[in-house]
Amino acid sequence: MSSYSATMIIKDMNGNPTSAGGSFGNINLDGRLTLQSAINAAKEVFKNECTVSKLDYMGFAIEKTNRFVDYKKPLMIDTNLKANEVEYLL
């Protein structure tokens, strides 16, 4: 069964957008959720993680995938960036 993969986008040490690492930078959400529910859940997790870890939140990518974070055409949330502009996303 496919599930939603979501990856947080943060600023790297040079201020460039990059995919976050670790268990809170990449999350897996139940594929039975609606897309909007998955977006809302991911947004809450990522914003909380940025607050706790003092990271610069730049949005996130989300897509229903068969394999975890195996993105083809992710939907970009809370950002004007395109997927190919984010280091280590595709």
Q: Is residue 32 assigned to a domain?
A: yes
Give the Cα separation of 55 and 53 in Å (integer): 6
Give the Cα separation of 42 and 8 in Å (integer): 9
Identify the CA nearest to 74 among candidates 1, 3, 5, 2.
Answer: 5
- Report helix, strand or coil for 5: strand
Q: Which of 33-37, 44-48, 52-56, 65-69 has the lowest mean pLDDT?
A: 65-69
Q: Is residue 47 assigned to a domain?
A: yes
- How far the first Cα of the chain sits from its last, in Å, is 22
Q: Is residue 90 assigned to a domain?
A: no
Pick the most confident of 12-26, 27-41, 52-66: 27-41
Q: Is residue 77 assigned to a domain?
A: yes
Q: How many domains does the chain have?
A: 1
What residue numbers bound the domain in which 41 lies? Answer: 3-85
* 21 token code pair: 């690492």
